[in-house]
Amino acid sequence: MKNITNYQNKKVLVVGLAKSGMNAAKLLKELGASVTVNDRKNIDDNLDAKELLDEGIQVITGGHPLSLLDEGFELIVKNPGIPYTNPIIAKAMEKGLPIITEPELAYEISEAPMIGVTGTNGKTTTTTLISLMLNQERKQGQAFVAGNIGVSSVAVAKKATQNDVIVTELSSFQLCGIDKLKPEIAVITNIYEAHTDYHQTRENYVKAKMRITENQDSNDFFVINWDLEELRELAKTSHAKVIPFSRLAKIQTGAYVKDGNICYQDEVIMKTDDVNIPGEHNIENILAAIVVVKIKGVKNSAIKDVLTTFTGVRHRTQFVSTWHHRKFYNDSKATNIEATEMAVKGFSQPIILLAGGLDRGFTFEKLVPVLKQHVKAMIVFGETADLMKDAGEAAGITEIKRVTDVVAAVPEAYKLSTDNDIILLSPAAASWDQYPSFEVRGDQYIDAVEKLMQVEDN
């Protein structure tokens, strides 16, 4: 960890706890700052706040009082999930207070170089693949994962050395709060419609994603999906070396698919059929990862070893089990239409689709073509159940059943399935109408699958 002094005696307000707020507050105290933490959760039910109090950090809980901003703070470190429309954040912006998120702190203290990965879909899989490939035949140091993947960026940066590298998944929420953060390699997997409830407009969302490259220079690399015209245009604004990947067309300077082979520049690495995870979207994630690790000098043998053994990231088209000739997959991370579309396209067998969740004010007509081609039956739930049902009926699906939640969906999906079917949880909606996170939703699905197998086998 770098010995930095710019936070000595600085009055800093940390707004929002969870992993990012906890680690930011502890680091700032270690760096000599005068830290106050503000969290909306009441102290009685707030173990994180109690822990910080025990460590001598001032904590104010139970809401976000605007009067806090009269106490002379010089900086705010914001939990990424708190929107900029929150009254205390909006007021801080009016006052001209700088507002950052945890990855910015991590970048400032890190001795290890950073690889940054963002995009609407595929961030976690790409981040994971990059780290696995970098570590496969590594002789010195380690590739750590951090960020939006569920691992505190600050906690990793504190232990990483110059021999290591930090592969950081960066959400648009986190990227809104950077200042100096500068990855040596930045990746955008794709950009689709998402998080307009947070960013207000798609333009703001795209601007947030592009912040991943705003501090890069000609010594850095910007890896983008060349199949998306919007990204090709956006890449022209970057000062880094742009290296593309493409699933649809040969790109001599990057990674691409040709004649069923995964290639880098003019070199064949392996056949697409030998990849162990399903779906065209995962081919794109693989291509993005290959560009990154080729820049870092990783050998083809290491890449092939990872791609022939990797079974997927939890909650992202994750294989759960085969039972009675049906395969169960958990894609709870599919919180938007494009993610579900990609997951469904990844299978050639008939699909029983489990879908539904938070209503963000849009409908699901865009899913109709893939539903028509791949899905034989649907189990719908959550706030968007009726909207999902409408899309299914428009696709000509006659077997559509509405249930209360994911747990109830599993046995109903099994009843509608036959040999060789895929039973796929891919909700196309966020989880927050019924679950605190997509992880909880996915875990409940896995538990329900395991319970179904036990009951039927008994």
What's the rounded Cα separation, in Å, for the pair 211 and 101?
A: 13
User: Would you list the domain boundaries of the chain?
Assistant: 11-100, 103-307, 318-457
pLDDT at residue 456 in the model: 55
What's the rounded Cα separation, in Å, for the pair 227 and 123?
A: 17
CA-nearest of 38, 52, 24 to 91 is 38
Tens digits of per-residue pLDDT, 337-361?
Answer: 988 998 999 899 999 999 999 999 9
Average pLDDT over residues 20-25: 95
- Which are the contacts of 235, defined by CB distance < 8 A and separation ≥ 6? 222, 224, 242
Q: Answer for the pair 431, 335: CB distance below 8 angstroms, yes or no.
A: yes
Tens digits of per-residue pLDDT, 263-304?
Answer: 999 899 999 999 988 888 899 999 999 999 999 999 999 999
pLDDT at residue 458 in the model: 46
Point out which residues pair with 37 in neighbouring strands. 14, 59
Average pLDDT over residues 380-397: 98
What's the farthest any 2 CA atoms get from each other in the chain? 66
**Pick from 11-25, 164-178, 308-322: least confident:** 308-322
Tens digits of per-residue pLDDT, 197-209?
Answer: 788 899 999 999 9
Residue 116, annotated as binding a ligand: no
What's the rounded Cα separation, in Å, for the pair 351 and 423?
A: 6
Whether the pLDDT of residue 50 is over 70: the answer is yes
CA distances from 450 to 15, 206, 411 (A): 39, 40, 11
Amino acid found at 196: T
Residue 63, annotated as binding a ligand: no
As a three-state string, the secondary structure of the chain is CCCCCCCCCCEEEEECCHHHHHHHHHHHHHCCCEEEEEECCCHHHCHHHHHHHHCCCEEEECCCCHHHHHCCCCEEEECCCCCCCCHHHHHHHHCCCCEECHHHHHHHHCCCCEEEEECCCCHHHHHHHHHHHHHHCCCCCCEEEEECCCECHHHHHHHCCCCCEEEEECCHHHHCCCCCCCCCEEEECCCCCCCHHHHCCHHHHHHHHHHHHCCCCCCCEEEEECCCHHHHHHHHHCCCEEEEEECCCCCCCCEEEECCEEEECCEEEEEHHHCCCCCHHHHHHHHHHHHHHHHCCCCHHHHHHHHCCCCCCCCCCEEEEEECCEEEEECCCCCCHHHHHHHHHCCCCCEEEEECCCCCCCCCHHHHHHHHHHEEEEEECCCCHHHHHHHHHHCCCCEEEECCCHHHHHHHHHHHCCCCCEEEECCCCCCCCCCCCHHHHHHHHHHHHHHHHHHHHC
**Pick from 9-13, 215-219, 409-413, 450-454: least confident:** 450-454
Residue 121, annotated as binding a ligand: yes
Whether the pLDDT of residue 435 is over 60: the answer is yes
**What is the CATH T-level fold of the domain 11-100, as seen in this structure?**
Rossmann fold (3.40.50)
Any idea which architecture 318-457 has in CATH? Alpha-Beta Complex (3.90)
Would you place residue 457 in the very low, low, confident or very high pLDDT band (cuts 50, 70, 90)?
Answer: low
What's the rounded Cα separation, in Å, for the pair 296 and 113?
A: 11
Tens digits of per-residue pLDDT, 264-273?
Answer: 998 999 999 9
Q: Percentage of the chain surpassing pLDDT 70?
A: 99
CA-nearest of 145, 68, 290, 250 to 282 is 290
Whether the pLDDT of residue 196 is over 80: the answer is no
Whether the pLDDT of residue 178 is over 90: the answer is yes
Residue 373, number of CB atoms within 10 A of its CB: 11
CATH code at 103-307: 3.40.1190.10
Whether the pLDDT of residue 56 is over 80: the answer is yes
Task: Supply 326's token pair.
Answer: 């049906």
Mean pLDDT of the chain: 95
Tens digits of per-residue pLDDT, 127-149?
Answer: 999 999 999 999 999 999 999 88
CA distances from 382 to 60, 139, 190, 315 (A): 35, 49, 27, 18
- Which are the contacts of 58, defined by CB distance < 8 A and separation ≥ 6? 35, 36, 37
What's this model's pTM, rounded to 2 decimal places?
A: 0.81
Average pLDDT over residues 383-401: 98
pLDDT at residue 284 in the model: 95
Nearest-5° angle of CA 252, CA 257, CA 260?
135
For the chain, the residue count is 458
Residue 124, annotated as binding a ligand: yes
Whether the pLDDT of residue 195 is over 90: the answer is no
Whether the pLDDT of residue 101 is over 80: the answer is yes
pLDDT at residue 313 in the model: 81
Whether the pLDDT of residue 2 is over 60: the answer is yes
pLDDT at residue 97 in the model: 97
- More reliable by pLDDT, 447 or 311: 447
